């Protein structure tokens, strides 16, 4: 909690744009002081901070690479110095493979890059946040929310390393949820489906056609605000007993159908 403002503190990785920014803005609207991270401190990052601060809360940006485990302590120290200890941590940052290669052709470089950020980096940052939470017992409700992907259960043979990283995150959530439940720290997984963001700009026409053909029962793209709504709900203290829950935000994409 921010001792100056009396507000809960949320940290959202990958919060410069897209899903991360929508999540951060939703939490700001709910009265959290918000820190966001990204790999670049640029005009986009500063514009994001201004958008968050417009909600009347304290906001800050800390540049840092989730994949650089040795840098995690500095990032968390900077967040705490600006706002205070984290009450709600949203692990959202992730990367796609540098090359979309068939499962039989992909490279160690592709694999190591994706898992280094999406799984290894995300795990150790969540671990660091959890240990800091445990070091400061608090009556303030606390939670960790991991934004993964429908790719945790759906195979894409031209980016299997990405699917592997998200499937691994699902077990990270279960492990952390089981370990932290007795300490009053809830852990959840949010699985987005096909979400329209800058990252999916190159496949809009492809998925427009697939959605039109019935791929998504809800008959539309997902929006970053859909993910934000789920995270906002999970950040509430009255859902903590549902720790370990997976919330699918995919318009019915992963429902098995005949």
Structure confidence at residue 17 (pLDDT): 95
How sure is the predictor about 11, in pLDDT bands with cuts at 50, 70 and 90?
Answer: very high
Within a domain: residue 167? yes
Domain membership of residue 1 (yes or no) is no
Q: Tell me which residue range forms the domain holding 91.
A: 9-249
What is the domain count for the chain?
1
Catalytic residue among 61, 113, 162, 207: 162
Question: What percent of the chain has a predicted confidence (pLDDT) above 90?
Answer: 92
119, part of any domain: yes
Average pLDDT (11-22) is 97
User: Does 207 participate in catalysis according to the annotation?
Assistant: no
Establish if 72 belongs to a structural domain.
yes
Please tell me whether residue 206 adopts helix, strand or coil conformation: helix
The answer as to whether 185 is a domain residue is yes
180 domain residue, yes or no: yes
Q: Span 240-254, mean pLDDT?
A: 97
Cα R_g (the chain), whole angstroms: 18
Question: Is a pLDDT exceeding 80 seen at residue 79?
Answer: yes
Residue 257 covered by a domain:
no
For 83-116, write each residue's pLDDT tens digit. 999 999 999 999 999 999 999 999 999 999 999 9
pLDDT digits (tens, 9 = 90+) for 192-222: 999 998 877 778 889 999 999 999 999 999 9
Calpha distance 146→78 (Å, rounded): 21
Query: Span 133-160, mean pLDDT?
Result: 95
Q: What angle do CA 257, 92, 39 make, to 5 degrees?
A: 140
Considering the domain boundaries, does residue 256 fall inside one? no
CATH code: domain of residue 105: 3.40.50.720
């Amino acid at each position: 909690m921010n001792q100056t403002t009396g507000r809960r503190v949320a940290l959202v990785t990958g919060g410069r744009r897209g899903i991360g920014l929508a999540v951060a803005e939703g939490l700001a609207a709910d009265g959290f002081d918000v820190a966001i991270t990204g790999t670049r401190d640029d005009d986009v990052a500063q514009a994001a901070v201004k958008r968050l601060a417009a909600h009347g809360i304290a906001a800050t940006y800390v540049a840092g690479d989730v994949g650089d485990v040795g840098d995690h302590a500095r990032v968390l120290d900077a967040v705490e110095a600006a706002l205070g200890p984290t009450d709600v941590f949203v692990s959202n940052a992730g990367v796609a493979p540098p090359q979309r290669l068939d499962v039989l052709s992909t490279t160690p470089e592709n694999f190591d890059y994706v898992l280094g950020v999406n799984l290894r980096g995300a795990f150790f940052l969540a671990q660091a946040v959890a240990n800091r939470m445990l070091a400061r017992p608090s009556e303030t409700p606390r939670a960790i929310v991991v934004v993964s992907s429908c790719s945790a259960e759906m195979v894409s043979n031209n980016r299997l390393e990405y699917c592997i990283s998200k499937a691994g995150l699902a077990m990270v959530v279960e492990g952390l949820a089981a370990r932290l439940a007795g300490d009053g720290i809830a852990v959840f997984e949010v699985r987005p489906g096909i979400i329209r963001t800058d990252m999916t700009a190159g496949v809009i026409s492809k998925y427009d056609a697939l959605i039109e053909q019935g791929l998504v029962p809800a008959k539309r793209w997902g929006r970053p605000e859909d993910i934000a709504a789920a995270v906002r709900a999970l950040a509430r203290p009255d859902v903590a007993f549902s720790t370990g829950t997976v919330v699918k935000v995919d318009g019915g994409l992963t429902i098995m159908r005949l």
